[in-house]
C-alpha cells in the first residue's frame, strides 16, 4: 500500500480511502466487518463515514456498525485514521441539522458514542452552511480539539471560496484550519478543476474524491450489461447521454489491458491534488478489485487520451473560460 500526507499535515493516509456508505443499507454488518478487516489487512488505514449514513434519521446506522467493529479490539481503532461527517438532519428539532455550535457539539458527542471511540481523526462538514459564520464554526471546532475529541477539520462539497474563507479565518485565529476537502470528482465530473483544485493546492488541502467511478458509469457498465446485469433508471439515463464517450473509454481500457474501474481510479491517483479516492465496496470482491488500481500506471500518453475522451473544463479558472 502507498501512503501520502493528508494535505499539509504530518498525518499519513493510504492512497485509497474506504467509504462505508453501503454498510447497513446494502451490506450486512458481518460482511461490513469483513470488508473493514480486509481493508486493514491490505494496508488501507483511512476510513470515511458520516452520521447520516444508514439513512434512518437520528440512528447513525453505519457509524454504529463501524463502532462495533472497533469494539472487537485487535488494534482496529489504533490503526485506523477515522473520518466522519456532520451537517445532515439527525432529528426533527431545529438544531439537529446544519452547523451551529450547538449542533457541532451535540453531533460530535453522538458520533463518538456510536463509533465507540474517544476521538475522531478527521471531522468533516458534509456541506457548507451559509448561515453559520466562520467565527462560530472555528470556536466550536477549536473547543473540540482542546477537549481531545477531534484532531483535524475538513470540508466536503465546499466551493473554492469556502475553502479560502475558512482557512483565512483560521489563520486569523492562529488555527490550523481546513486540511481536507471531499469533492465529487472523477473522469466524467471535472468541474472542481476550475476553482476547488487550485484552492486545495494553494492552501495545502488534501482532496478526497467521492464517487470516483461516477456511480458505476466508469466501472465497465457496458461489459456488465452484456453479462446481463442491469442498472437503475438514473444510471441508464446517464449512460445513454454519454454512450459514445463510455464506449470509447471501455475500448481504450481494453487496449491498456486494464479493467475500466482500475483505470478510473488510477486516473484520480495521477492527479497531484488528490490524496485518495473513496472506494465504497458493497462486497469483498469489489474491494479487491479497487486495490488493483494501485498497480496501474498511466503515462502522459494515456492521460492525454483520457482527456480527449472526457474533456475537463479546460484547466483552472479563469484561463479555462477567459482565454
Catalytic residue, chosen from 53, 123, 203, 249, is: 53
Question: What phi and psi values does residue 85 have, to the nearest 5 degrees?
Answer: -140, 155
DSSP 8-state assignment for residue 23: B
Nearest CA among 95, 179, 90, 167 for reference residue 134: 167
CA atoms of 149 and 145, how far apart (whole Å) = 6
Is 101 in contact with 139 (CB distance < 8 Å)? yes
CA atoms of 212 and 306, how far apart (whole Å) = 15
pLDDT for 226? 83
DSSP 8-state assignment for residue 294: G
Nearest CA among 277, 255, 259 for reference residue 211: 277
User: Going by C-beta distance under 8 Å and a sequence separation of 6 or more, which residues neighbour residue 215?
Assistant: 234, 235, 238
Q: Which residue has the cell 469533492?
A: 183
User: Going by C-beta distance under 8 Å and a sequence separation of 6 or more, which residues neighbour residue 2?
Assistant: 14, 15, 294
User: Going by C-beta distance under 8 Å and a sequence separation of 6 or more, which residues neighbour residue 93?
Assistant: none
CA atoms of 161 and 95, how far apart (whole Å) = 25
Nearest CA among 87, 93, 19 for reference residue 52: 87
pLDDT for 190? 98
pLDDT for 235? 86
Please say if 184 is a catalytic residue.
Answer: no
pLDDT for 136? 98
State whether residue 12 is helix, strand or coil: strand
Is 287 in contact with 38 (CB distance < 8 Å)? yes
pLDDT for 278? 98
CA atoms of 142 and 232, how far apart (whole Å) = 43
- β-bridge mates for residue 4, sequence order: 13
DSSP 8-state assignment for residue 282: S
What's the predicted TM-score (pTM) here?
0.95
What architecture (CATH level 2) is domain 3-322?
Answer: Alpha-Beta Barrel (3.20)
pLDDT for 234? 85
CA atoms of 5 and 206, how far apart (whole Å) = 8
Is 274 in contact with 207 (CB distance < 8 Å)? yes
Chunked in runs of 10, what are the mean pLDDT values of the chain (323 residues)?
Answer: 97 98 97 98 98 96 98 98 97 96 98 98 98 98 98 98 98 97 98 98 98 95 83 86 96 96 98 97 95 96 97 95 89
pLDDT for 272? 94
190's grid cell: 471535472
pLDDT for 30? 98
Amino acid at each position: 500500500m502507498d501512503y501520502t500526507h493528508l494535505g499539509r499535515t504530518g498525518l499519513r493516509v493510504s492512497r485509497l480511502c474506504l467509504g462505508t456508505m453501503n454498510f447497513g443499507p446494502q451490506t450486512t454488518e458481518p460482511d461490513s466487518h469483513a470488508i473493514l478487516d480486509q481493508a486493514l489487512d491490505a494496508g488501507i488505514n483511512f476510513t470515511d463515514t458520516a452520521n447520516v449514513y444508514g439513512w434512518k434519521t437520528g440512528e447513525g446506522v453505519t457509524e454504529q456498525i463501524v463502532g462495533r467493529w472497533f469494539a472487537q479490539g485487535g488494534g482496529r481503532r489504533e490503526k485506523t485514521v477515522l473520518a466522519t461527517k456532520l451537517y445532515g438532519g439527525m432529528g426533527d428539532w431545529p438544531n439537529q441539522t446544519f452547523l451551529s455550535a450547538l449542533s457541532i457539539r451535540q453531533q460530535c458527542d453522538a458520533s463518538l458514542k456510536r463509533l465507540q471511540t474517544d476521538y475522531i481523526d478527521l471531522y468533516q462538514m458534509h456541506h457548507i452552511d451559509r448561515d453559520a459564520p466562520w467565527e462560530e464554526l472555528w470556536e466550536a471546532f477549536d473547543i473540540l480539539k482542546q477537549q481531545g475529541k477531534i484532531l483535524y477539520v475538513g470540508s466536503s462539497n465546499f466551493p473554492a471560496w469556502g475553502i479560502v474563507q475558512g482557512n483565512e479565518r483560521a489563520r486569523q485565529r492562529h488555527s490550523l484550519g481546513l486540511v481536507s476537502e471531499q469533492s465529487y470528482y472523477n473522469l466524467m465530473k471535472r468541474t472542481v478543476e476550475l476553482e476547488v483544485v487550485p484552492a486545495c493546492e494553494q492552501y495545502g488541502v488534501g482532496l478526497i474524491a467521492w464517487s470516483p467511478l461516477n456511480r458505476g458509469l466508469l466501472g465497465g457498465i457496458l461489459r456488465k450489461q452484456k453479462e446481463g446485469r442491469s442498472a437503475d433508471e438514473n444510471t441508464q439515463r446517464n449512460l445513454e447521454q454519454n454512450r459514445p464517450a463510455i464506449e470509447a473509454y471501455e475500448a481504450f481500457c481494453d487496449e491498456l489491458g486494464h479493467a475500466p474501474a482500475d483505470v478510473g481510479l488510477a486516473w484520480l491517483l495521477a492527479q497531484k491534488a488528490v490524496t485518495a479516492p473513496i472506494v465504497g465496496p458493497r462486497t469483498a470482491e469489489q474491494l479487491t478489485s479497487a486495490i488493483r488500481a494501485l498497480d496501474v500506471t498511466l503515462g502522459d500518453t494515456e492521460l492525454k487520451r483520457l482527456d480527449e475522451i472526457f474533456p475537463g473544463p479546460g484547466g483552472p479558472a479563469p484561463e479555462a473560460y477567459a482565454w
